[in-house]
Amino acid sequence: MAKRFLEFTAAEVEFLAEDTIITIVPNFQMDMLFFISGTVGPFSPSLPVQVPVWLACTLKTRKRCSIQAPEWLDVAYLSAKLDEERMFHDRFIEMPEHFMEISAMLLECASDDIRNASQLRGIIEDICEIRYAKARHGLSILQDNPVATQVNNLSLMEINSIRPFFIHAMNEFRNFAQTLQATRIRANEVP
């Protein structure tokens, strides 16, 4: 059966990230675009305009615009986040939504518009690694709360990558607990 329709793929998470709005500077003239999901533009040379990431990357690859890096795609900002992420072992630091996907897409298609692109790549990779290590470690303490685990600030991409393993593990924990409980009850019933 088509199991893939019941799961999110990394590409689908990236697809959702592509609707995030960023700023570009076009080099062409065009009227407002009436999209189904809203209007974009008008476009005038050198006038910054807000568009979804997918449009920004399309225009960029056709050399129709330059992309303005989002405020957070910055060495100082991300280095501070990296330090913060290292400081706390028991929780995730709040990051801009879809930061992994957006930075990957922008660094891929517009590395000439983004300052310190290679340094940024390194910092983001470090942040992702630390967060992933925390998530993996988190599984070993999952049993502490028997009913719900708080996972604040975990991004959709991260949730998606740990999902199969975590859901399976939690369901197994639950099965064990139920078996244990049933055994206890039965043991008590024996006179």
Partner 1 sequence: MFQDDLDDSAFDAELNNDVRRLKQSWLNEKNAPEILQFESELVKDLTDNVQTQIRQLSEIQSSDVMTAFANNLKRMEYDRLLFVIRSYLRTRLTKIQRHAMYILSSAEMRQRLSPEELRFTHSYVTLSEQHYSNSCLHDFPEMIQRLDEKGMIPEPDLQTHVFCKVMEDVGDVEIERADVSGVNSVTLLKGDQFLLRYEPIRPLVANGSVVLL
Count residues binding partner 1 (CB under 8 A): 50
Q: Which amino acid is at 178?
A: Q
Q: Return the number of the residue (54 or 77) whose C-beta is nearest partner 1.
A: 54
| Interacting residues of 65 by C-beta distance below 8 A, sequence separation 6+ | 24, 25, 26, 27, 28, 56, 59
By CB under 8 A, is residue 93 in contact with partner 1? no
> Which of 87, 148, 187, 190 lies at the binding interface for partner 1 (CB under 8 A)?
148
Tell me the closest approach of the beta carbon of residue 130 to partner 1, in angstroms: 19
Is residue 109 at the binding interface for partner 1, with CB under 8 A as the rule? no
Residue 63 Ramachandran class (φ > 0 left, ψ -120 to 50 alpha, else beta): left
CA distance 101 to 96: 11
| Collapsed DSSP state (helix, strand, coil) of residue 154 | coil
Residue ranges binding partner 1 (CB under 8 A): 1-3, 5-8, 12, 15-16, 18-19, 28-31, 33-39, 54-55, 58, 142, 145-154, 156, 159, 163, 166-167, 170-171, 173-174, 177-178, 180-181
